[in-house]
Structure 1
């Protein structure tokens, strides 16, 4: 049996996605625009530490940027739902470029530290959630719910690729060129990708007036399904942030720090493989049941982290835990898409990303404190418990999800 015969059932549905006119271009532009996601946080750490010599200050500045982005993303998305992606995205990218490059200037120029925090916050607040914009375009382009699940799974894989490619690039630029090079490159790539996406008007979702005005749109964007997914994603994000810290600390304590990258890469690889498979699976049950099931599976898979006592066990447990990541993210996005009217979809998807972002920030802080207090091996309790909390939230929120979904408009 040839590899082509084996892979056709898996990859065929993804190839058919790109028969949609313009889909390949908006998805690729979205990938370029998303590259700053991992580049700016790490880039800010490397830039500030390189100029100040303080990791504490660097972490605080990077945290300010991330938290501002978690607030600014839904605000930009709300404006796009009301006025269209193109015009709002161009304004956002202009602000993003100006504030981001100004941040680099004040840090390199030795300006007062308060200006570093102010411009880091403004840069984060200027960053729209590109992933939500791309998923909204897929939702507008595809009438079939199963094909939308496949598209959302593909975008989750794109997210994984971004987080595999971004950190090595920003690290090499910051160490081999200059501390400011990684962050600056992220700003430039994000701006170019965002502007490219903004020019693709043919695939831009049509602005749909809210039936009950702005108040109805806001309530729809934060309805019960969105809130359940958002809170569960806080737990999922906490796992992401904690794993980055604990894996690096455990590898260093084991005397083989270089293997931290391998362990984290296999964790991402597990998610990538599962995302591709989940995207083409035709599973029984409602979208609500799938989300609850994948949240519980995510919780169970992460409990293997309690058993980590060596690097081989870490690699194995990390890969198994990674297998449960993409399904819960894809099922959450599919559930939100099915329960929110098109007039508020971009904002709703952006809110779920905010849950992930806040969770990542919290997870990094909690894991760092746990490593200092208990040591790296015991600190695996942080991601394991956070995953368990995500599963419990999914189960507890199930009653809120037991209602008929909003009718999905037929795609153009």
Structure 2
């Protein structure tokens, strides 16, 4: 089982840039939960916290593909050296504005700017793997599965670290911790010059439209977006659900259980030589995630207040996450040429981020008005819409199942 991973880390420079990327993208599992905990601690409003998270996610979903497009054209390091300092400055300003009780519009303005200067480190790392590996498809699949495992380690440890720092120190401590990861990760990543993919400057007269205009990228974007809505809605409802039972400080632990099970499936998936292609695996994984959502709904509606059953339900559900994401990223990467790989991966990740923004304000309102138990219907609706979103593009998906 470990042979594939041994081959992967025999690739020169792979371990170094993967480690730097791990540190740089650690805040993706921390920042939105940290903002919610910080704003709720300062204002007591889940609606306001959810609104801020929604706006930040919307901006991120648009900005990240554009910066990734720039990274393909001008080089990853050059773009990262611009975005990281601006992001850190305005994130620090956001904390200051909230603490000083500045007008709410200023909070949203700073959130728009700090999220507008984020380049997706996950897709940059995956692009580097493609660059250093070459044409070995099995090893690229292993690299994607490994990075999915890294993502799950991040999503396992990040929420727990966020909850600990925000609960046991002071509410904004989790945001400061995330800022530290960005600063250190960016510096380390910038030193990895030898593995940086070559820039592909746009030539005068080149037809270089945004990839989101591509029909198949749209076919992938929409279900990924609704899966992101499921992830974001579930995470927010879990925090509120535990808050109702007086154990909000354990929210990071429950999200970590969810991510830990996904990490297990990522590790196993990366060691398997799949007989079915990525497009078919992606579709099957969405169905699996929908089926494994039933235990969460049952835990909330039938076994209300039994936190052990809720933890078990989250563990079972998490087993379907990593295979879905790995297959989705692989389908995206194989649908374009190497000159635009970072951009297409960015659109896939932005779909998840945009989806995460969609339910936050609605979910926050339902939580404040009706309680967290009722709010569990939001992520359930999202995953059902993800299934339905495959239907308008069914002919394209059938072609990909045959082609890839």
Please say whether Structure 1 and Structure 2 have the same fold, judged by a TM-score greater than 0.5.
yes
2:89 paired residue number: 98
- Select 1:43's aligned residue among 8, 27, 34: 34
- Whether the aligned pair in 2 keeps the contact of 1:93 and 1:195 (CA below 8 Å) is no
Moved more, 272-281 or 298-307: 298-307
Distance (Å, rounded) in 1 between the aligned partners of 2:83 and 2:122: 15
- Select 2:140's aligned residue among 128, 133, 148: 148
Kindly tell me: are residues 359 and 325 of structure 1, through their superposed partners in 2, closer, same or farther at Cα, counting changes over 3 Å?
A: same
2:350 paired residue number: 354
Q: How does 1:84-95 map to 2 (within 5 A)?
A: 84-95=75-86
Kindly tell me: are residues 376 and 179 of structure 1, through their superposed partners in 2, closer, same or farther at Cα, counting changes over 3 Å?
A: closer
Distance (Å, rounded) in 1 between the aligned partners of 2:287 and 2:332: 18
2:176 paired residue number: 184
Distance (Å, rounded) in 2 between the aligned partners of 1:254 and 1:49: 16
Distance (Å, rounded) in 2 between the aligned partners of 1:297 and 1:213: 45
Deviations 1:65-88 (A, max 9, x none): 222222211111010011110111
SS in 1 for 2:12: coil
2:61 paired residue number: 70
* TM-score of the two chains, using structure 1 as the length reference: 0.86
**TM-fit CA distance, 1:396:** 4.4
2:331 paired residue number: 335
- Select 2:386's aligned residue among 382, 385, 390: 390
- Whether the aligned pair in 2 keeps the contact of 1:66 and 1:357 (CA below 8 Å) is yes
1:200 paired residue number: 192
**TM-fit CA distance, 1:316:** 3.2
1:270 paired residue number: 261
Supply the RMSD in Å over aligned alpha carbons: 2.8
- Select 1:282's aligned residue among 270, 273, 297: 273
Deviations 1:216-271 (A, max 9, x none): 3524x652332222111112111112222333444455676676555433322221
**TM-fit CA distance, 1:17:** 1.1
**TM-fit CA distance, 1:122:** 0.5
2:292 paired residue number: 301
**TM-fit CA distance, 1:307:** 2.8
- Whether the aligned pair in 1 keeps the contact of 2:93 and 2:110 (CA below 8 Å) is yes
2:316 paired residue number: 320
1:5 paired residue number: none
SS in 2 for 1:128: coil
Distance (Å, rounded) in 2 between the aligned partners of 1:287 and 1:385: 25
Deviations 1:284-312 (A, max 9, x none): 23322222222222222223334332234
Distance (Å, rounded) in 2 between the aligned partners of 1:277 and 1:396: 32
Q: Are 1:139 and 2:130 matched, yes or no?
A: yes
- Whether the aligned pair in 1 keeps the contact of 2:46 and 2:365 (CA below 8 Å) is no
Distance (Å, rounded) in 2 between the aligned partners of 1:44 and 1:339: 35
- Whether the aligned pair in 2 keeps the contact of 1:137 and 1:205 (CA below 8 Å) is yes
Kindly tell me: are residues 101 and 365 of structure 1, through their superposed partners in 2, closer, same or farther at Cα, counting changes over 3 Å?
A: closer
Kindly tell me: are residues 402 and 212 of structure 1, through their superposed partners in 2, closer, same or farther at Cα, counting changes over 3 Å?
A: farther
